[in-house]
Homo-oligomer: A and B are copies of this chain.
Amino acid sequence: MAESLPVRFGILGCANIARKVSRAIALAPNALISAIGSRSIEKATAYAKENGYPSTTKIYGSYEAVLDDPEVDAVYVPLPTSLHVKWAVLAAQKKKHVLLEKPVALNVKELDVILEECESNGVQYMDATMWMHHPRTAKMKEFLSDSHRFGHLKSVHSTFAYLGDTEFLKNDIRVKADLDALGALGDAGWYSIRAILWITDYELPKTVTALRDPELNEAGVILSCGASLSWKDGRIATFYCSFLTNMAMDIVASGSKGNLRVHDFVIPFQENVAPFYTVEDSRFGELATAIHPVPSEQQVGTDLPQEALMVKEFSNLVGSIKGKGSKPDKKWPTISRKTQLVVDAVKASIEKGFETVEVIY
């Protein structure tokens, strides 16, 4: 099979998170940075230099110019959420494949506009949920899918929280009602909701009920919240997300036969190796004075960081479309939409005074 040409990325804006993804594009074997656009060409120039962009990178003073560049195959969109619908739609219309930072949209209605535009223009869509691409994730799924070891899922709890400092809580886009209106729910909660859906094989919950009394800032943006999710067969999930708590990135999944625990699921403590913990067939010792076995640690190494694996996977899909005329993969838009549906349901439940909300695809 002939090697296809690397996918040429355009970067929209000079967001902090784009530094990490730019490095990932450089690391991925099938991608390269071709262009960056910012409203300020000076800013883009400095950014490209600081982040070691190739000397061939084209620097533009607008996002449009990136979209108009025929040497750009795909765009990475790390703009504030409120701008996603405009720029992702425009990108699709210009036949650029779209790697979209999360939260992907302010609500599913907006996301549907993006997804429909991507579909009708035949471009690949993927949200930038990096941990999905770590080989640990596949290893954990192997355990969760093992009916002898894990059995069937009964309950799962996930937390993603980190402590925003004074500057963050005052000025970050994630606490601004006009930029990332979903606050901690869209930023941190997105990951826990995705984790819960990932564990349930993307079966949407029947109901979502927000936990009482989320913390809001003066503009009404969520700084911490949580919810419980229920499925019709008795499975339940809970999650908590926050900008006001020391960092935690936990999944604790209980199956009928085993348990899985991970404490750094979003970003591994170390870049090249990531742990998780399993235990199965736990039993009380004599007189119930001990429990065996003790949970065991599994370590999963990776040559490429998870964000580079994400870029590689996205570029593989783009390469297949470009090189072989394949159709865009449906998995990524589908799970992105399901995640957004649950985000929306949590928000609706909060707005309705913590009423239970049904989730319908």
| Size bracket of the A interface | 35 or more
A340 at the interface (CB under 8 A from B): no
* Bound-state Cα–Cα, A238 to B250, Å: 14
Indicate whether A174 reaches chain B with its CB closer than 8 angstroms: no
Q: Give the residues in chain B near A228, CB-CB below 8 Å.
A: 211-212, 226, 228, 238
Whether the pair B254, A248 counts as a contact (CB closer than 8 A) is yes
Q: Which residues from B are CB-within-8-Å of A214?
A: 234
B292 adjacent to A246 (CB under 8 Å) = no
Q: How far is the CA of A144 from the CA of B247 in the complex (A)?
A: 16
Most buried by B among A215, A236, A250: A236
A residues 236-285 touching B (CB-CB < 8 Å): 236, 238, 240, 242, 244-250, 252, 254-259, 261, 263-264, 267-271, 279-285
Known contacts A240-B238, A269-B290; decide if A155 and B151 are in contact (CB<8 Å): no
Of residues A155, A161, A244, which shows the largest number of chain B Cβ atoms within 10 Å of its Cβ?
A155
Whether A252 lies near B246 (C-beta < 8 A) is no
Q: Does A129 contact B (CB under 8 A)?
A: no
Residue of B nearest to A234 (CB): B215
Scoring A residues 154 to 175 as 1 if CB is less than 8 Å from chain B, else 0, what string do you get? 1101010111000000000000
Assess whether A336 is interfacial by the CB under 8 Å rule.
Answer: no
| Alpha-carbon gap, A94 to B317, bound state (A) | 79
A280→B305 CA distance, assembly (Å): 25
> What B residues does A255 contact at CB under 8 A?
245-246
A245 with B236, Cβ < 8 A, contacts A209-B354, A267-B289, A291-B269 known: no
Taken together as a complex, chains A and B put the C-alpha atoms of A250 and B356 apart, in Å, by 27
In the assembly, how many copies of this chain are there? 2
Q: Which residues of chain B are within 8 angstroms of A133 by Cβ–Cβ distance?
A: none
A290 touches B261 (CB 8 A): no
A263 touches B295 (CB 8 A): yes
Cβ-neighbour of A154 out of B224, B236, B257 (below 8 A): B224
The answer to whether B256 and A236 touch across the interface, beta carbons within 8 angstroms, is no
Partner of A245, one of B207, B226, B254: B254
Q: Residues of B contacting A290 with CB < 8 Å?
A: 267-271
Judge whether A230 is part of the interface by a CB distance below 8 angstroms: yes
Given A155-B226, A238-B226, does the pair A269, B246 have CB atoms closer than 8 Å?
no
Q: Which residues of B contact A159 (CB under 8 A)?
A: 155, 157, 252, 254
User: Are A212 and B224 closer than 8 Å at their CB atoms?
Assistant: no
- A352 at interface, CB cutoff 8 A: no
Contact assessment for B162 and A282 in the assembled complex, using a CB-CB cutoff below 8 Å: yes
Select which of B163, B209, B240, B292 is within 8 A of A236 by beta carbon. Answer: B240
> Which 4 A-B pairs have CB atoms at the shortest separation, nearest pair first?
A247-B282, A212-B230, A154-B245, A245-B254
| Residues of A participating in the B interface, judged by any CB pair closer than 8 Å | 17, 19-20, 23, 151, 154-155, 157, 159, 161-163, 207, 209, 211-215, 224, 226, 228, 230, 234, 236, 238, 240, 242, 244-250, 252, 254-259, 261, 263-264, 267-271, 279-285, 287-292, 294-295, 305, 307, 354, 356
